[in-house]
Structure 1
Amino acid sequence: MSKATDFPIVYVKNLPYNTSTESLYQLFGEHGAINQIRVSNQEHTGDCFIVYQNLASATKVVKELNGINFNGRYIVLSLYSVDKSKLAEEDYVIRREELERLKEKYQIS
């Protein structure tokens, strides 16, 4: 089971459909430095991901803003949990490719 404690990503649900990115930066930026806000390209999803620069800010915003009324809707926040097993597989593939490149460079079979 993966832990969200390694990634400062907050998943926000139940946003009003007409929420602007600027209003999200205004609300969530008060609680820490934001790297990016990811909103779905599809209309009417009502959710987004907010990537903070550190875990402390992400944890703080979840505790302070979960359940508040934002433009007429009660938003739900949680720390996003990343599936580390997929990260491990990707890391293995990258390391294997790097090893093959080094073997070729130094002519090792």
Structure 2
Amino acid sequence: MQYLLLIYQNEVEYAKIDPATSQKMMEEYGAFTQSIIQSGNFKAGDRLRPTTTATTVRVRDGKTLTTDGPFAETREQLGGYYLIDAPDLDAALAIAARIPSARLGSIEVRPIWVYD
């Protein structure tokens, strides 16, 4: 089954991290990504640009409305994702717990809805 691992952390707090700590985390991400590629769990993954670059689109009464920024105000912002293949939720949760940002923010694990 496929799961989407959504990576949330506070952008303001992350910006305060010193360059050496940030570099170490990026190296950890590289190692983590390589490990799930090698294990066969990896399907896709990307880091996202900050929420200041986001635009939200809504259609109401046939009119398209756009708003700068993310959909909702939250303490943590969506910063990236991994799409993985795992045999069950427990395995997906174990993989999510290894994502470096789990120590600073949170990882939302969502099963992918497969249409038959």
Give the TM-score band, short-chain normalised: 0.3 to 0.5
- Computing the radius of gyration from Cα coordinates, the structure with the larger value is 1
- TM-score when normalising by structure 1: 0.40
- TM-score when normalising by structure 2: 0.39
Ranked by relative contact order (alpha carbons within 8 Å, sequence separation 6 or more), the top structure is 2
Structure with greater helix percent: 1
